[in-house]
Amino acid sequence: MADRDKKDARDEKDELEVPENGLLTARRLWASARGLRWRVVVATIAAILYVTCDLITPLYSAHLIDLLWKNIQAAFAKGEPFVVTLDDGGRELLVYLGIWMLAWVFYSTQSLVMASFAERLNLRLRKDISAKVGRLPLRYFDAHKPGDTISRATNDLDKVSEVLQRGLLQIIISAVTLVGALIIMFRMDVLLASIFTVFIAASLLLTRVVAGRTLVVAGRRQEVLGRLTGRVEEAYSGRTVVKAFGRERASLEQIEADAQELALVSARADFLTNAISPAIRFLTRLSQVICGVLAGGMLVAGRLTIGTFQAFFQYVFKASEPVTQLSLTVNMLQGALAAAERVFRLLDEEEVVPDPEQPARLPEHVRGRVAFEHVRFGYSPDKPLMSDVSFVAEPGQKVAIVGQTGAGKTTLINLLMRFYEVDGGRITLDGIDTRRLARADLRRQFGMVLQDAWLFEGTIAQNIAYGKSDATREDVEAAARAAHVDYFVRTLPDGYDTVLSNDAENISQGQRQLLTIARAMLMDPAILILDEATSSVDTRTEQYITRAMEAIMEDRTSFVIAHRLSTIVDADLILVMDHGSIVEKGNHRELLAKGGMYAELYRSQFA
């Protein structure tokens, strides 16, 4: 219960874009940037130098304007026209231009260097995720939605990259500009600077209050958007069922209700996001009016020069904009840290047990003897599924695994393929413990045909040759003929070069299944695993495939997960599973004679 509460709290923080430990995440990002940190240092120095130049210009402009005004008055007093020369303000104008040129150079430097840093770090993290996914155990994918993992490798990293590229330096520039401008303003006039500071403090307080509310509403918007996306996807993928049961109107009403709620929540979020800037600008403009009235009186009284007057208001403008920028950028940074935290959470997931440093080697010709010896397994330590599973599949035998849904049939195959690791006992292949083998060497001995016919985007020939990249076209066509798939492939416009796209929706489910069977035949494996391989084909095609399977299974060990018992009556060994245990084993005749669970299942299908 406590773990569930923690997970709920974490999910809520993810929705609100609030990192659990922002400082730790920032440290991990810094550690991940090894070899790239010099870019951050250079960009930071360049940003500080840019701000320094930017802050110097108003102060220098005050000196320049006062100097020019003095020279203009002197020229008018002599009745001479005023001309700018190197001695009469020209040198100062060149210095002023030089300061702006330096500011441009420093700004361009920090932008260029930081952009390279963000993209390079993004690429490095994407590579880490790609490598990590290959090391994750099957239990991770069972417990996580595909969209969640994809989002971390795409949306989350894009958000981190965007903020690192623009937001991080924006925070530095805004903060240094605000502090530097306020210091200079206080040196110019304490009263005016104090009045402006009060309004700045009020703006920051307002920003903090609104930002907190904005995060809550933004999280709610993401939640509603996710629900609406799921509704639309469900209505599209299940359109046939929706139409068959006449649920079009009900489905549309659900989508419209979610869309309406999303519109309302989005309007509220957009209002809060867009209202903060005008409110802050109103406060800053109000402060400028008050300071302008007071400064005007001081100018008339001679307490301020014209140059100082205009310089002060340049600093007012320079200090006002960073307040708005900081409010927006801090929220962006917080969201980026939350996104980075999700990425690191994926990278911290428990990995599969690594292959042994010196793995055992299988003989060149694997016989295919498989033995389960007192195997124990559970998806979680406190909930064991298998307690003592033992059996032997001799080379060339056909082993059928039957039982009710959830009995542990697929789990047994997953353990054999080392998609999961056993908690006790051992599994051997030709007498070698499979844990001593490299996973790639072990899985190379198996050919699988699953109930879910998976095909990738590519040609039919490429899909058949998926497990054997060096196969020739003749090999592909021979496997297709053996699987009785050659005829329908040749009826397609491009034959074996027909491109399967959109999850192979341009061919039927049965044809997809035939292609996966041809793929397994082409591999010519030592051991076959068939998980209801003929479940999606018609009876006549099933007979063809059964005969083809009998040919390919000859002299090969094969494991057949079956629900239709008529397909495994000729099996050499039938394992009857219930709640993770093998409750009966034997051939068809022996199990019928026992009158146990197998006999009951068989009679229920043929009653």
How far CA 595 is from CA of 159, 566, 572, 580, in Å, comes to: 63, 17, 18, 21
Give the up-direction half-sphere exposure of residue 449: CA atoms within 13 A in the CB hemisphere.
Answer: 35
pLDDT surpasses 80 at 5? no
Average pLDDT over residues 192-205: 83
Q: Is 205 helix (H, G, I), strand (E, B) or coil?
A: helix
Band of residue 373 on the pLDDT scale cut at 50, 70, 90: very high
pLDDT surpasses 90 at 372? yes
Number of helices (H), then strands (E), belonging to the chain: the values are: 21, 12
Give the Cα separation of 557 and 572 in Å (integer).
Answer: 10
Q: Hey, what long-range contacts does 105-110 have (CB within 8 A, 24 or more apart)?
A: 106/46, 106/47, 106/49, 106/50, 106/53, 107/46, 107/47, 107/50, 109/42, 109/43, 109/46, 110/42, 110/43, 110/44, 110/46, 110/47, 110/50, 110/169
Among 606, 569, 607, 561, smallest CA distance to 591 is for 569
Contact of 601 with 402, CB cutoff 8 Å? yes
Q: Which residues pair with 529 in a beta bridge?
A: 448, 559
pLDDT digits (tens, 9 = 90+) for 264-304: 888 887 787 677 777 777 887 788 788 778 878 887 777 77
How far CA 607 is from CA of 186, 258, 538, 576, 599, in Å, comes to: 96, 48, 22, 20, 11
Which of the listed ranges 164-178, 417-431, 518-532 does the model predict with the highest average pLDDT?
A: 417-431
Tokens of residue 484, six digits: 């009785």
Give the Cα separation of 354 and 357 in Å (integer).
Answer: 8
pLDDT digits (tens, 9 = 90+) for 40-52: 888 888 888 888 8
Tokens of residue 498, six digits: 């027909």
Residues 6+ apart with CB under 8 A from 349: 132, 136, 140
Residues 6+ apart with CB under 8 A from 137: 350, 351, 352, 419, 420, 421
pLDDT at 575: 93
Band of residue 514 on the pLDDT scale cut at 50, 70, 90: confident
Pseudo-torsion of CA 106, 112, 115, 119, nearest 10°?
-150
Residue 392 sits at φ, ψ, to 5 deg, of: -130, 130
pLDDT surpasses 60 at 9? no
pLDDT at 544: 66
Give the Cα separation of 587 and 551 in Å (integer).
Answer: 20
Mean pLDDT of the chain: 80
Strand pairing class (458-459; 557-561): unpaired
Tokens of residue 29, six digits: 């990002």
pTM, full prediction: 0.66
Q: How far is CA 546 from the centre of its chain?
A: 42
Give the Cα separation of 66 and 76 in Å (integer).
Answer: 15
Give the up-direction half-sphere exposure of residue 190: CA atoms within 13 A in the CB hemisphere.
Answer: 0
Contact of 139 with 17, CB cutoff 8 Å? no
pLDDT digits (tens, 9 = 90+) for 337-352: 877 888 888 888 888 8
Band of residue 147 on the pLDDT scale cut at 50, 70, 90: low
Average pLDDT over residues 490-505: 80
pLDDT surpasses 70 at 537? no
Amino acid residing at 449: V
pLDDT surpasses 80 at 526? yes
Q: How far is CA 452 from the centre of its chain?
A: 25
Contact of 331 with 211, CB cutoff 8 Å? yes
Give the Cα separation of 282 and 268 in Å (integer).
Answer: 21
pLDDT at 11: 46
Q: Is the dihedral of CA 58, 64, 67, 68 positive or negative?
A: negative
Q: Is 433 helix (H, G, I), strand (E, B) or coil?
A: strand
Q: How far is CA 119 from the centre of its chain?
A: 16
Classify the phi-psi angles of 19: left when phi > 0, otherwise alpha if psi is within -120 to 50, otherwise beta: beta
How far CA 555 is from CA of 396, 447, 449, 460, 528, in Å, comes to: 4, 14, 18, 28, 11
**More confident of the two residues 334 and 593:** 593
Among 445, 424, 426, smallest CA distance to 435 is for 426
Give the Cα separation of 302 and 26 in Å (integer).
Answer: 51
